[in-house]
Structure 1
Amino acid sequence: MSEPIIVSAADLHSHAHEIFRRYRPLTPLLKRDDGIYIAIRARDVEQLLTDPRTRQMETEIAETRGVVDGPLRDFLQYTMVLSNGIAHRQRRLPLARAFAHKFISDLRPRVRAIAEELIDARYETGEMDFIADFANWLPARVICHILGVPESDIPEFTRCVYSLSRAFSSTFTKEDVPDMQHAAGDLSAYVDDLLMDRRQRPREDFLTSYTLALDTSEKLSNVEAVVQMMTILLGGSDTTRSALAIQASLLLENRDQWEAVCGDPALIPAAVFECLRYEPFVGSVPRVTLDDIALDGWSLPRGQILSLSTLAAMRDPDVYSEPDRFDIRRSDLPRRHLVFGNGVHRCLGAALAKLELEEGLAALTRRLPSLELDGNPLVVRGGSGIRTVQGLRVRWACARA
């Protein structure tokens, strides 16, 4: 069998949907011009997420970009996101209680209140930068509430998070590394100070219980403990930030569907799931092949970095009717959303992200039914990892006395 079709990383970054639509009927595999294989059909992506012939990628891509030491290397080496086996279980388990389903469900009134407060802060102006004034703050304030982090620290840790999140995209370059190293160092020092503070001055919060559990079990080193908190701050703020912006833009571009949600809040969960399917905030999951794998007559060699494209899978016509049509009333929405992964690496914060997206949308539709785009729709880029968003201004008619 000949080599898979080669596509450029730059083209994928800007035109991923078009490329996947063109090649999905022809082949289950593409190959990026940097050597990374891409699985683009839904059934393959779902199966390979838990296939024992693959494992989660660790530091393979980072090493090819020259990341061999420093705080960025520590972050990528010790984060549970890029861990396997016993190391993954030990790093993830101490965090499970903070993201248990019952605990997250009980947060719903608090999340709703935060969303309402953010709207109140801008309501009389009749406009806002949706990302800077709403999407940045909602998930960051919620993660602060969960962990016990002061909200006054949000500008400090989100500055680091937005730079460091590029580490989870396979397209970052050697030129990006110095800035990412700096962000990783700053965020590591910030989290280390937080954990030291809780050891010296215990409180009734998750960070205190986390440090006590770590010190009792002695299963994680200090650097591992710090890196897991860095991971939670990143995952709990950056990814949902993007999803909130994507969700608002899609619904406002499709005015009839925005108005439908405004008129019937029962549509909110389906609207959230359709937005996640149509334009997911995470484009792919990175794996490494441990054996040769055959996909529909094509051979995927062992020892290769493999990108499982959720972006491509969730517009696969074998799974979704008219997959390029945005429709919050579609009957083929997934019950267990692929954007959050599957298996032991399924996103720890999936329930929290869905709750924030639902309550954020509920607050916007209830308080700002006249909300509309103030300029162009959101620009979403990236064919893998955490995708980037920029440029979303909105306006509304104020209800004045």
Structure 2
Amino acid sequence: MNKVVPFGADGASALFVDPLTLSQNPHAMFAGLRDHYPVIEVGEQQYLALRGEDVLSLLTDSRTVQIEGADYARLNRVPEGAVSRLMSDFFLFSNGKTHRTLRSLFARSFAHRAIEASRGQVRAKAAAIVAELPRGESFDFVEAMASRMPAEMIALILGLPESDAPYFTTLVYETTRAVVPPYPLDHHSVIEAATAELFFYVEEHLLRRLDEPCDDMLSMLVTDWQENRVIPFDSLVNQVIGIVIAGSDTTRAGFAMLTTLLLQHPEQWEMLRGEPSLLPGAVAEGLRYEPPAASVPRFTVAPVEIAGVTLPAGVMLSASTMSALRDPALYADPDRFDITRTDHPKLHSVFGLGPHRCIGDVLSRIELEESLAALIAGAPDIELEVAPKLQGYRSLRRITPMQVRIP
């Protein structure tokens, strides 16, 4: 049952909303709550900021920082082991000098110019996958294309065997359950086993590059590491795991939902077929309308006041990009899907802002654009039979199967 308290009343902090109830229809609940309750409580010492302006401000507010892995593990009671070590190590869950040092390991490889230069490879990979899609029978689009494209591309970029993509993505999809609060303790043994196996897989490939360097990112990483060992080798392994996770999971959900939305709006699918220049706008709108990452976890390091409610230091205050991206204060008619929309900001907030902006945002957008272009060219008459759903309202959202048919 919701604990309804007026904002600003003595002792009030926020409206408590039952997480299970919220997860059933988050868009509708956010719309109903946003005007009156810009902050809601979703667990012990865990809050969500809902309004667009507050969300954008929190992403760069010095009174909040990216939640550190140790704090996340503590607040979510994650047991000691491979999962907690990954959280404590990966640069996404760090701040300041530590974050800059770890992120810099990948800065050259994910620089805008370097990634843009790979667009031809992305285009060829997307066209090849579309050519292999079944014809004349129903199939799961998430498995057949949306999952393959980002996984095979991150394998290509890092230097992992593309044939291993089905194997390591199975481990990735289990591991990502760890970063969606509250931590599913009843599923911990499976998550822990998958994370440990993923660690050994990446470790093996990095160790090979120590003995026999190749012309790939993994070799560059271990070569740089040998010359300047700023972190332990185990930590280097965890950084690569984080990149594999980021490169494999969110883009598959984003592409499946983008394709679904376009097929559910056939006039916009047809418009896109005739005007390829609308591809970037279509990608931006898909990510806005159904973002695969629902919120950005922040941690208060000083009291933060939002609309009359003061939250203390030491709590998890997530910025709900999912709510902000449907806020009428930021977008006109926000519940309308429109690939010709002109009110998208230059920097899409689904990728975060400030020093923690997603390092792979350029690669993700290129993959989405080229995958959609390849699908339109190679399977323009694709039919949607069962639409998928994006489940969840915090951190990464999980995608359900999507049944389609190509005549």
In the superposition, the TM-score normalised over structure 1's length comes to: 0.96
Q: Describe how 1:152-171 pairs up with structure 2 within 5 A.
A: 152-171=163-182
In the superposition, the TM-score normalised over structure 2's length comes to: 0.95
- Among 368, 386, 389, the alignment partner of 2:396 is 386
Aligned residue identity for 2:48: I
Aligned to 1:395: 405
Note the alpha carbon deviations across 1:50-109, whole angstroms, 9 max, x for none: 111111112323224432421111100000111111111111101111111111111111
Aligned to 1:339: 350
- Among 25, 37, 48, the alignment partner of 2:35 is 25
Whether 2:283 is the aligned partner of 1:272: answer yes
Q: 1:64 and 1:37 mapped to 2: Cα distance?
A: 12
Aligned residue identity for 2:405: R
Aligned to 1:319: 330
RMSD over aligned CA atoms reads 1.3
Aligned residue identity for 1:150: P
Q: 2:124 and 2:105 mapped to 1: Cα distance?
A: 28
Identical columns (%): 37
Note the alpha carbon deviations across 1:201-237, whole angstroms, 9 max, x for none: 1111111111000111110111110000000110001
TM superposition shift of 1:172: 2.7
Aligned to 1:43: 53
Aligned to 1:145: 156
Aligned residue identity for 2:41: K
**Gaps (5+ residues) in structure 1?**
none
TM superposition shift of 1:371: 1.3
Q: 1:295 and 1:34 mapped to 2: Cα distance?
A: 18
Q: SS state of the match for residue 61, structure 1? A: helix
Q: Describe how 1:270-309 pairs up with structure 2 within 5 A.
A: 270-309=281-320
Aligned to 2:82: 71
Q: 1:245 and 1:277 mapped to 2: Cα distance?
A: 14
Aligned to 1:61: 72
TM superposition shift of 1:127: 4.3
Aligned to 1:220: 231
Q: 1:65 and 1:124 mapped to 2: Cα distance?
A: 45
Aligned residue identity for 1:267: L
Q: 1:54 and 1:363 mapped to 2: Cα distance?
A: 41
Note the alpha carbon deviations across 1:112-149, whole angstroms, 9 max, x for none: 11111111112544543101100111001111111111
Q: SS state of the match for residue 108, structure 2? A: helix
**Gaps (5+ residues) in structure 2?**
1-7
Structure 1 range deviating more: 25-34 or 69-78 = 25-34
Note the alpha carbon deviations across 1:27-71, whole angstroms, 9 max, x for none: 221111444111001111111111111111123232244324211
Q: 1:88 and 1:172 mapped to 2: Cα distance?
A: 24
Aligned to 1:12: 22
Q: 1:385 and 1:221 mapped to 2: Cα distance?
A: 28
Structure 1 range deviating more: 355-364 or 325-334 = 325-334
Aligned to 1:181: 192
Structure 1 range deviating more: 85-94 or 130-139 = 85-94
Q: 2:24 and 2:222 mapped to 1: Cα distance?
A: 42
Q: 1:143 and 1:196 mapped to 2: Cα distance?
A: 19
